[in-house]
Amino acid sequence: MTLLQARDLRKRFGPVAALDDVSLSLRRREIVAIVGESGSGKSTLLNVLSGRIAPDSGTVLYDEGEGLSPIAGRGEARLRHLQRTRWGFVQQDPRQALRLSVTAGGNIGERLMVSGARHYGDIRATAARWLETVEIDPARLDDLPRTFSGGMLQRLQIAATLVTEPELVFMDEPTGGLDVSVQARILDLVRGLVRRLGLAVLLVTHDIGVARLLADRLVVMRHGRIVETGLTDQVLDDPHHEYTQLLVSSVLPA
Amino acid sequence: MQGYNFAYLDEHTKRMIRRAILKAVAIPGHQVPFASREMPLPYGWGTGGIQLTASLLGPDDVLKVIDQGADDTTNAVSIRRFFARTAGIRTTTRTAEATVIQTRHRIPETPLREGQIIVYQVPIPEPLYRLEPSRAAAAQMHALADYGAMHVRLYEEITRHGRVALSYDYPVMVNERYLMSPSPIPAFDNPKLHMNPAMQLFGAGREKRIYAVPPFTAVRSLDFEDHPFDPRRADAACALCGARETYLDEIVSDDRGGKMFVCSDTDCCESRRETAP
Amino acid sequence: MIVLDAAGLEKTFVLHLQNGTRLPVLRGAGLTLRAGRCVALTGPSGAGKSTLLRALYGNYRVSAGSIRVRHRGAMIDMADAPPERVIEIRRETLGYVSQFLRAMPRLAARDVVAAPLLDRGAAAEAAAARARAMLDRLGIPTPLHALPPVTFSGGEQQRVNLARAFACEWPILLLDEPTASLDAANRDIVIGLMREAKARGAALLGIFHDRHVRDAVADETLSLEPLKESA
């Protein structure tokens, strides 16, 4: 039941090997966290896996229901369609992902409309329900996001991304830059939604606490390579690799 | 007229433009770039339309030129005379008699026939212009049929105004594939684009784009199921011919607030008056 | 019936941050668990009791040996099972109760307890009812059911932890000092729960520092001795 698979990915940016022979798999309904420090290559990996940038070598394969096949071979149009319908991407900065001069309802409605929704009233009702789901007052449906706080913007982005219940969601530091209490709220939300909707999630974070809270499996990256992988509790409670031990021991106690 | 090739443009240019037209016809609604030439009038005055017309005219063609529906405005007259002098072809104000109709901002009320060509003057060919300032990004959106931004725009219109308040240049989907700007014709005229027996060509001289809607092509104005496309028309009859179904111009008749509504399509109005009992 | 059969387990911690110090904890360790019976792990501090428990749960990865678990009718070796299989075993067959509650920050106590039931596909209503019943049994007052346990006392948190463990029926349950922070009355309630589990056919493996608890539930004891540290 492998949904997404990467084989032998390599990517250089000038002299820097951002990805150095990286392989991994993601199954349906599985949450995998990729942890590492800045420069570890984790964001590059996410961008390659989601088709946003092409690797120098290696393949990314996806199973749409007929077995794994390379995403590169599908053509730009089909890949873009996949990204807008069956995949979702939650960015670290919601301001990059949302249309700030479009109402909250319009932002959530966009994916619905791209997927063929043509009934204004239904789109609006769905958007209002999703605002409630992400704990934003539905009365703000017609408000512009520029009036929202950072946490609200991120929750709006989550609603706007998950509204079409994509089977695979990529998340890049979904709680980065937010206050700790706000983070907790969003992580809770994400965990509940992911479980409820049965989504597969590939999540990049530098925060081990986030990984422990959300992920079934953990992949530890350093200098473009995967140094350790396993169940989340295995990697965090029984780290084998020197770098993983360093990462885990560096976490400040609550 | 001495010194000028038939219909002003040299044959190489006409060939280049006809190739662009062929490509445009092969991909309904898709904008084809072309090497727009210097014309004896500035950008913004219909150079795109004129280049298309010049490339299509043959000695047996009959040309009609209208501007906002009227044959007798300055620009329409100038362009018609330009072709009369450089091509020596017959011109007409009767829609039914024309083989080529060049128009700015209206579609004639008289239904077009198979075999007729209508050439639209287009200021801004890119329907995504206001939503996506980057031309390259807009080109990508068309290539990938990525039109989410336009749907969002219409959603926002309804949210803010209760209805889609676009009254002209209302965006359409051509052949269910390309988003197209029908040029600044009133929304009222949009239904005429759909399944029209005539060849519809669009030329933008300043922006250097040609696009086409071949005969009997599906053209759908974007709307929602519960907010269907509903173009407005002044609720009045033409003061001259009494028509209640044609698009009307509002004309201020005095300085005391007096106004009257008159058919925008002068040929149609005249014909109605001629055949009236 | 044997439900868990571990043999030849080896575990050595390599502390890279302390110059690669090696800490062998398990060598040749093994045990067998049978349905309806409870084994108590005994031995001095540092002997590896917790390590063994965590190794059996798959939390610590062993470098040698097998941990065969009866899952869906067949014996599966957790030590080399793929991650999704381990997750499945932990969801359906093998439960683990630690000394401390670890829960999602804002989850209400009743949702913490209901979570494993929901993971198994139980209906929300039924899971909620069972969670309430178990919290009541462990003496958590009703007004607290809707609150996140993070604000509770240590003892209350542990009781929520135990409610979560016993709300589900586990064929095998691993318990690490389950009653450490409880008073005598609550301790007895937990003894009752463990006995009921055994009566249902569950196999229990526990570390009980409290002799009274050990005597009340354990059918046999397994004693561990600390390994001599190798160079």
- Contact indicator for B15, B51 with CB cutoff of 8 Å: no
> What is the CATH classification number for the domain harbouring A22?
3.40.50.300
With an 8 Å Cβ cutoff, are C14 and A240 in contact?
yes
pLDDT given for residue A252 in this prediction: 65
* Residue A114 forms contact with B (CB below 8 Å): yes
pLDDT at A210 exceeding the cut of 80: yes
Ranges A19-33, A70-84, B16-30, C68-82: which has the least confidence: A70-84
Q: With CA atoms as reference, report the closest residue to A30 among C84, C75, B162, C39.
A: C84
Please report residues of A whose CB lies closer than 8 A to that of C13.
Answer: 238
Please report residues of A whose CB lies closer than 8 A to that of C14.
Answer: 240
State the nearest Cα–Cα gap between C188 and chain A, in angstroms: 31
Domain count, chain A: 1
CA distance B201 to B156: 31
pLDDT given for residue A223 in this prediction: 93
Q: How confident is the model at residue B37 (pLDDT cuts 50, 70, 90)?
A: very high
Is residue A34, in this structure, part of any structural domain at all?
yes
Nearest to A120 among B146, B148, B226 (CB): B226
Catalytic-role residue among B46, B48, B241, B268: B241
State the nearest Cα–Cα gap between A227 and chain C, in angstroms: 14
Catalytic-role residue among B46, B203, B205, B238: B238
Is residue A221, in this structure, part of any structural domain at all?
yes
Can B268 be counted among the known catalytic residues? no
* Residue A139 forms contact with B (CB below 8 Å): no
Please report residues of C whose CB lies closer than 8 A to that of A191.
Answer: 104
State the nearest Cα–Cα gap between A237 and chain B, in angstroms: 45
Residue-wise pLDDT for B104-127, tens only, equals 999 999 999 999 999 999 999 999
Is residue A114, in this structure, part of any structural domain at all?
no
Please report residues of A whose CB lies closer than 8 A to that of B156.
Answer: 102-103, 106
State the nearest Cα–Cα gap between C204 and chain A, in angstroms: 22
pLDDT at B68 exceeding the cut of 60: yes
- Helices (H) then strands (E): counts for chain B: 7, 12
Run of H or E including B139 = helix B135-143
Which of C17, C25, C98, C118 is best to mutate for the A interface (most A CBs within 10 A)? C17
Structure tokens at B243: 């028509």
More confident residue, C101 or B204: B204
CA distance B145 to B126: 14
With an 8 Å Cβ cutoff, are C61 and A234 in contact?
yes
Q: What is the 3-state secondary structure (H, E, C) of chain C?
A: CEEEEEEEEEEEEEEHHHCCEEEEEEEEEEEEEECCCEEEEECCCCCCHHHHHHHHHCCCCCCEEEEEEEECCEEEEHHHCCHHHHHHHHHHCEEEECCCCCCCCCCCHHHHHHHHHHHCCCCHHHHHHHHHHHHHHCCCCHHHHCCCHHHCCHHHHHHHHHHHHHHCCCCEEEEECCCCCCCHHHHHHHHHHHHHHHHCCCEEEEECCCHHHHHHHCCEEEECCCCCCCC
- For residue B247, give the amino acid letter: Y
> Is the C-alpha dihedral spanning A204, A206, A211, A213 positive or negative?
negative
Q: With CA atoms as reference, report the closest residue to B52 among B169, B184, B204, B183.
A: B204
pLDDT given for residue B146 in this prediction: 87
Q: Which residue of A has its CA nearest to B162?
A: A120
pLDDT at B151 exceeding the cut of 70: yes
CA distance B268 to B246: 9
Mean of all residue pLDDT scores within chain A: 91
Residue-wise pLDDT for A133-178, tens only, equals 999 999 999 999 999 999 999 999 999 999 999 999 999 998 887 8
State the nearest Cα–Cα gap between A232 and chain B, in angstroms: 38
CA distance A168 to A63: 11
> Is domain B11-221 classified as CATH 3.40.50.11310?
yes
Q: What is the mean pLDDT of residues B128-136?
A: 90
pLDDT given for residue C230 in this prediction: 46
Q: Domain of residue A176: give its range.
A: 2-97+166-250
Q: What is the mean pLDDT of residues B7-23?
A: 97
The residue ranges of chain C whose pLDDT is under 70 are: 228-231
Nearest to B224 among A80, A106, A120 (CB): A120
CA distance B190 to B123: 17
Which of A52, A76, A78, A80 is best to mutate for the B interface (most B CBs within 10 A)? A80
CA distance A12 to A19: 7
The answer to whether B and A touch (≥3 CB pairs < 8 Å) is: yes
More confident residue, B260 or A189: B260
Residue-wise pLDDT for C66-125, tens only, equals 999 999 999 999 999 999 999 999 999 999 998 888 877 778 999 999 989 988 888 989
pLDDT at A84 exceeding the cut of 90: no
pTM of the model: 0.85
Nearest to C16 among A191, A195, A245 (CB): A245
Q: Which residues of B sit within 8 Å Cβ distance of A?
A: 143-149, 151-152, 155-156, 158-159, 224-227
CA distance C3 to C172: 7
pLDDT given for residue C231 in this prediction: 40
Q: With CA atoms as reference, report the closest residue to C109 among C83, C135, C81.
A: C135
Q: With CA atoms as reference, report the closest residue to C58 among C82, C37, C36, C42.
A: C82
Please report residues of A whose CB lies closer than 8 A to that of C106.
Answer: 184-185, 188
Which of A79, A84, A99, A108 is best to mutate for the B interface (most B CBs within 10 A)? A99
Residue-wise pLDDT for A93-102, tens only, equals 999 999 999 9
* Residue A74 forms contact with B (CB below 8 Å): no
Is residue A146, in this structure, part of any structural domain at all?
no
pLDDT given for residue B277 in this prediction: 67
Can B269 be counted among the known catalytic residues? yes
Q: Where are the domains of chain B?
A: 11-221, 233-276
CA distance C61 to C25: 12
Run of H or E including B202 = strand B199-204
With an 8 Å Cβ cutoff, are A246 and C60 in contact?
no
Mean of all residue pLDDT scores within chain B: 94
Nearest to A110 among B148, B224, B227 (CB): B148
With an 8 Å Cβ cutoff, are A77 and B143 in contact?
yes
With an 8 Å Cβ cutoff, are A184 and C15 in contact?
no
pLDDT given for residue A158 in this prediction: 94
Residue-wise pLDDT for A154-166, tens only, equals 999 999 999 999 9
Residue-wise pLDDT for A36-66, tens only, equals 988 889 999 999 999 999 999 999 999 988 8
pLDDT given for residue C103 in this prediction: 75
Ranges A13-17, A137-141, B102-106, B180-184: which has the least confidence: A13-17
Catalytic-role residue among B29, B48, B69, B203: B29
